[in-house]
Amino acid sequence: MGSLFPLTLIILAWASSTLMRSNAQGVKSSRLLDLLVRDYTFKSLDKHFRTGTLHSVHLPTNLSGIRVDTIRFRCGSLRRYGAQVKEFHLGTGVTVHPCVERVILIRQNLGYNWSSIYYSNYNLSGHQLVSPVVGLLAYNAGKDGNFSNPFEIGIFAREKPIKIDFTNTTNFTNAEGIMPLCASFEGDGKMTLANSASPHVCLATRHGHFGLVIESAPEEQYRKRESQWKIAVGSTIGAALGAFLLCLLVVAMFVRVKKKSRMEEMERRAYEEEALQVSMVGHVRAPTASVTRTTPTIEHEYLPPYH
């Protein structure tokens, strides 16, 4: 029995890892993705995990494109001094609830590919993401390095809001004078929009997922512009083709009239030449009448009888 126990643990660990990988391959829910990231993060922690030091989390290849960092704080220290976790700047006075002693913060950067999940989980109609979705979630740290039972807790910044700086995250520029909006993705499937505090900087009062969005032109407007473009091109081609055909028609009519005129002239000349032939007398053309012969007749002369 003693020799079977380690083997059982190995089998259970392998089954858990296989299940997590299979779940990751078919992830279509942002909530499920958070749970997978949480599980991989806590599996990477050990007893040498130092408080106050940011650690990068290595995810499997089926979650490539997602960057995860984690850090542990004492709840009191976080409230007194605040913290900076990559794009997230937590000011003094931030509270974590419920928190007994320590809290683990997990920062996510989903990249552009995995951020597309939010199009199917939230109503983004009329808007499009111009930055990756980033997230900051908090979990209980347990005591004495015990990370076996993590559960999510809340971060609240009532005195000073949390700053989220997308400057080094997004490729969007304000070349056209468009100021992106700050999108906050709530856990209940709702998205709220707010003006940015400054270019590429958003403010939040609690944990969650955030991104920059801009208004996209309605699909009908794109279709209208496309149809207008097609009509303009079609009209131009039609006008050019019509002008070409009209030119061909004019040329054909001119050739036909010219040919008819020549035929009439030839018929007139043939008729005149038939009525009055033209002969060359020396070097001069002169009309001549056609020669006609008188039909010979037998002359009947009366001769008296000879006596």
For tokens 């030449």, the residue is: 273
Q: Which token pair is 105?
A: 């913060």
Map residue 277 onto helix, strand or coil: strand
**Residue 229 shares a structural domain with residue 185:** no
- 227, burial (CB in 10 Å: exposed 0-12, middle 13-18, buried 19+): exposed
Listed in sequence order, the residues at least 6 apart from 131 whose beta carbon sits closer than 8 Å to its beta carbon are 166, 169, 170, 172, 180, 200, 211, 212
**Residue 209 shares a structural domain with residue 75:** yes
Give me the chain's average pLDDT, please: 80
Residue 189 counted as domain residue: yes
Listed in sequence order, the residues at least 6 apart from 242 whose beta carbon sits closer than 8 Å to its beta carbon are none
**What distance lies between CA 245 and its chain's CA centroid?**
41
Looking at residue 64, the DSSP 8-state letter turns out to be: T
Q: What is the CATH number of the domain that holds 71?
A: 2.60.220
Contact 105, 70 (CB under 8 A): yes
Model pTM? 0.63
Q: Which token pair is 54?
A: 């940011």
**Residue 62 shares a structural domain with residue 160:** yes
Residue 171 counted as domain residue: yes
**Residue 142 shares a structural domain with residue 255:** no
What single string gives the DSSP state of each residue in 133-201? -EEEEEEE--STT--SS--EEEEE-SSSPEEEE-TTT-----TTS--PEEEEE-TTS-EEEEE-SBTTE
Total domains in the fold of the chain: 2
Nearest to 129 by CA among 100, 106, 151, 109: 109
Q: Tens of pLDDT along 230-283? A: 777 777 888 888 888 888 888 888 888 877 777 777 766 666 655 555 566 666
**Residue 135 shares a structural domain with residue 212:** yes
Residue 254 counted as domain residue: yes
Q: Tens of pLDDT along 89-104? A: 999 999 998 887 889 9
Contact 172, 122 (CB under 8 A): no
What single string gives the DSSP state of each residue in 86-150? TTEEE-TT-EEES-SSEEEEEEEE-HHHHHTHHHHHS--TTEEESS--EEEEEEE--STT--SS-
Contact 88, 147 (CB under 8 A): no
**Residue 30 shares a structural domain with residue 129:** yes
**Residue 32 shares a structural domain with residue 144:** yes
Residue 200 counted as domain residue: yes
Predicted confidence at residue 15, as pLDDT, reads: 44
**Residue 119 shares a structural domain with residue 63:** yes
Predicted confidence at residue 12, as pLDDT, reads: 43
The last residue of a domain, from among 178, 201, 216: 216
Q: pLDDT under 50 in the chain at which residues? A: 1-2, 5-24, 220-222, 224
Residue 285 counted as domain residue: no
Strand segments (E) across 23-66: 55-57
Predicted confidence at residue 18, as pLDDT, reads: 44
CA–CA dist 152, 96 (Å, integer): 11
**Residue 246 shares a structural domain with residue 115:** no
**Cα angle for residues 165, 169, 172 (degrees, 5° grid):** 100
Residue 283 counted as domain residue: no
**Residue 31 shares a structural domain with residue 170:** yes
Phi, psi of 295 (to 5 degrees): -65, 125
Decide the pairing of beta strands 162-165 and 201-204.
Answer: antiparallel
Question: Widest CA span of the chain, in angstroms?
Answer: 187
**Residue 211 shares a structural domain with residue 71:** yes
Domain that holds residue 83: 26-216
What is the distance between the terminal CA atoms of the chain, rounded to a whole angstrom? Answer: 185
Predicted confidence at residue 234, as pLDDT, reads: 77
**Residue 151 shares a structural domain with residue 70:** yes
Residue 173 counted as domain residue: yes
**What distance lies between CA 180 and its chain's CA centroid?**
18
Residue 303 counted as domain residue: no
